Structure 1
């Protein structure tokens, strides 16, 4: 369905003069692996022995992650598509860090940047924590940093869904003809603690709900393309944390084993939770999950990720256009979308949280997340800051806090990407 912009949950037209590509980051060489893993797991008490175990995964790939090269390719494609708008890149856990990117934008005179986060679904680690990272980067850079406007989630946008349909069709075509039509589509995404999944989105449960919505649309369109309806399910990968903490299930390895035990002969692993073939795809799926399938005699193929598909790149440009123009259509292929522009105060609530970048004053006037909390100036920025060329007070409402804001959090990312 296509839904026009409205004032209920969607921001007003807000101009931006740059785009910031926001991603997870990964090590560039063997000497970076352990420092990177320590960044990812800082404050979680992960023992060095566990980090060394995960570091060994990188050895299979020359001691570096594929994610940064994939982000460079996406960065180049976005620069070409959005020219003359400048496009920057910042990571959560490795160079180039977000604060460095924000400082560079300030030096270049950027006043307001749209932020595209390479995570399609609502969750603390996939959305809220990135907004906290953006707020921390603004605080670190200090006065004169640009406003940061996070673009909406895109899990059911045609620019994400349609390339995934193509990848599923191609993967099916690689299976033996005798078992192709009966193959199960196993949609995979990053595992989360159940408590975090339950708190995702403004009303809870959004992570699982959005995954199923995206998977259902993709499966339906695959059936229309190949003329065969394939059964599908959602499974999870890359679990971390103590066994005593309940996580989303089934694990993809358990799911594949159960399919084989039940008599299935083929499956396609569809990494719908990821936008590029980074470490959790090329190791957790291509190595571990494929090995599980092989040991069980299950023919398996892995669908590709969207990467730099031109439709995906065009989608990012459309998301920018949505924020700039209230009249721009907001395509969504499931009943879940389109997502809100500005996250409500308690969206993806982890219980105790740091200040998070939310939007700009015009957003707050549009649908009022400040009604359930307070707006706070960033440190070093006067409450009555200068007005921007767009007419809104600058920098006084780009961070939301409430009475429970704090520094503790539950980071679900494992020692990896």
Structure 2
């Protein structure tokens, strides 16, 4: 193994063929006597590798017209040396063969996390009803997360969605300050700003709130929200849509009922309950002996939301309001994926979904 570099006397094809064949023969001899790491460092080292030394010596003394063909040959030589480095490994593996007396290596196929599985099931139900799927950023502005959804500054309803604020936002106008979104509703606003009605979408995704973790709450959780905007959309359309969805998720025997509620972005608003899937509505511990389980919120889109959308579309250059409450209407709904997954699988603590405990997750494989 000599480190001397013989300079080229001329650069015709025959001379180059002989020179590069000689270098490759030297590398082939070394690969048979050196361990793989020593060979790699000696021949392919970035700073003092032999291939680099030869390349610099030959290219430095070469005329300009010969440098391009030399460079091509060196690239080919490098590939040959790399292949020679891998060849002993492949040869060793081939010699070993397969020992059929050894136990086989079983690779269990991966499966969806139970939360993702439930979220995809929910989305699929609404896809079958003609709803598309939209997503959006988890880091949102105050405008899209609150103001456009009829949560003006200092509105008490903001307290129920206490969120995580991105640092160093004080110098920005209030509506432009960044935060971790508290619901997937900002995607509803973004979709309406970008698109005129009709709209039928569901929005799955991760959301963040400044909540203390306990058996039923987590500062990070998932939602699926929906929005339908068109002419002549009524509360009856909302009830029929959600009744069908609940039956598709929990079985045709499930019943739904609606109770008046309050959300800033819908009017009228309602909470939706389903008959307990564990006792069939008779009353048990899981439904607190009421026979019903509260599952999601919904309502008709508040005209104030349409006004915010029209304002934003006007800033983007739209000349006519596409969302005129006198001509169009819509409904919206939202549900927590973890809550539905806990009901489906009988899970008592939301923290199990985030623990990473394989003993828990393997139950869903």
TM-score category, normalised to shorter length: under 0.3
Bigger relative contact order (CA 8 A; separation at least 6): 1
Structure number with greater Rg is 2
TM-score computed with the length of structure 2 as normaliser: 0.26
TM-score computed with the length of structure 1 as normaliser: 0.23
